[in-house]
Structure 1
Amino acid sequence: MTLERTIANAFALDDETWRRHANPWSVALRNTALPLLVLALWSRLWLGWYALVLLAVAFLWIWYNPRIFPEPATFDRWASKAVFGERIWLNRDRISVPAHHQRVPNILSAISGIGMLFVFWGVLVFDAWPTLFGMALVYAGKLWFLDRMAWLWEDMKDNPAYSGLVRHSDRE
């Protein structure tokens, strides 16, 4: 099982939730998750243990975001394609992806992971520069990763295994 599928299972993302998450508003607003987490963790300086309330709100937002938006009217937007590409990527141990998609997503995930190390350090020691630098790395890696996922979707959307992900009217 891939790490990505394990995370998706932890968030209880079923087919309907994935389609709702393919709404471009869901994808765009998902980018607020990291700043909310950083703010919640940083607020321990001012709020002490009450910062856990903000942390809980941030985690609730992360869980709730893919569920609050309706399915988009069409799945032909970049954000929708990126979400469906992520579905394909998390399933790559069952259905292989083309060779030109096998390495770069891992590199981009590593860039995001390195960025998170800077974020963790910056938040731990209350230093804005490593926090902001880390966030920039996280977003650069993640947004580029999403772009690769949109490309992956375009390359694999006609695979019969993925025919049920979107409505047929959106596949033409």
Structure 2
Amino acid sequence: MDIYRAAERLMGMRDADWRRHANPVSVWTRFSCLPLIVLAIYARQWIGWWAVPCVVLACFWTWVNPRAFPSPADFGSWGARGTLGERVFLARDQYDLNPQHIRVAHVLTGLSVLGLGPLVYGLIALNPWATLLGLVAIILPKVWFVDRMVWLHADVTHTIPGQALPDPTLPHERIPQ
């Protein structure tokens, strides 16, 4: 099973959603999703069962976030290019990608998964330091992953990150043999 495509299916992302998610505000606020879920779970010690609607709201924000902002007028920003690169990565079997991009993406995803251990322990034991360690261990590789998706997009589209990009340039798909 491809964990990346499973996450995409779980989120129900369509082309229009990806275009909207390329808005830099969407990309940057996306990093609030996991901390909000974690805070809602951790808050059970203070607010008891009221934490459940907070978790539901945080999960709802996670689903709404890629759809909450308009498509950007310029797709040249770091966040937009990271989003475009992620789309290419998700369809990696349809493109001729440098294998190093795929390896690095897998390593960074693996590093994020390692953060689940301290995060889950911290949430169960209500240990703030383990919880914070887990959050950082998950989020930092994810930021690096997005940065690698910028590189991937630049590599396959022969565009330069940081320069204006009025249309969400994606490479031509490889014709199946």
For the criterion TM > 0.5, the same-fold answer is: yes
1:102 and 2:102 matched: yes
C-alpha displacement at 1:94, in angstroms? 3.5
Q: Contact 1:2–1:91 at 8 Å: present in 2 too?
A: no
Match of 1:38 in 2: 38
C-alpha displacement at 1:2, in angstroms? 2.7
Deviations 1:104-156 (A, max 9, x none): 11111111111122111101100011111111111210011110000001111
Q: Which runs of 5+ in 2 are unaligned?
A: 159-164, 170-177
1:142 and 2:142 matched: yes
Question: Which residues of 2 match residues 83-94 of structure 1 at below 5 A?
Answer: 83-94=83-94
Give distance in 2, aligned partners of 1:101 and 1:65.
26
Which one-letter code corresponds to 1:77 in the other structure? S
Give distance in 1, aligned partners of 2:30 and 2:144.
15
Match of 2:73 in 1: 73
Match of 1:161 in 2: none
Which one-letter code corresponds to 2:79 in the other structure? A
Which one-letter code corresponds to 1:152 in the other structure? L
Deviations 1:45-71 (A, max 9, x none): 122222110000000000000011000
1:118 and 2:118 matched: yes
Match of 2:173 in 1: none
C-alpha displacement at 1:28, in angstroms? 0.4
Give distance in 2, aligned partners of 1:31 and 1:102.
22
Give distance in 1, aligned partners of 2:13 and 2:155.
23
Please, what TM-score do these two structures have when normalized by structure 2? 0.86
Paired residues in the alignment total 163
Which one-letter code corresponds to 1:2 in the other structure? D
Q: Contact 2:21–2:27 at 8 Å: present in 1 too?
A: yes
Give distance in 2, aligned partners of 1:118 and 1:157.
38
**Aligned residues with identical type, % of pairs:** 38
Q: Which runs of 5+ in 1 are unaligned?
A: 159-165
Rate the CA distance shift 1:27–1:66 in 2: closer, same or farther, 3 A: same
Which one-letter code corresponds to 1:81 in the other structure? R
Please, what TM-score do these two structures have when normalized by structure 1? 0.88
Give distance in 1, aligned partners of 2:137 and 2:56.
25
Give distance in 2, aligned partners of 1:24 and 1:42.
29
Give distance in 2, aligned partners of 1:154 and 1:83.
12
Q: Contact 2:119–2:131 at 8 Å: present in 1 too?
A: yes
Give distance in 2, aligned partners of 1:96 and 1:138.
29
Structure 1 runs of 4+ aligned residues shifted over 4 Å read: none
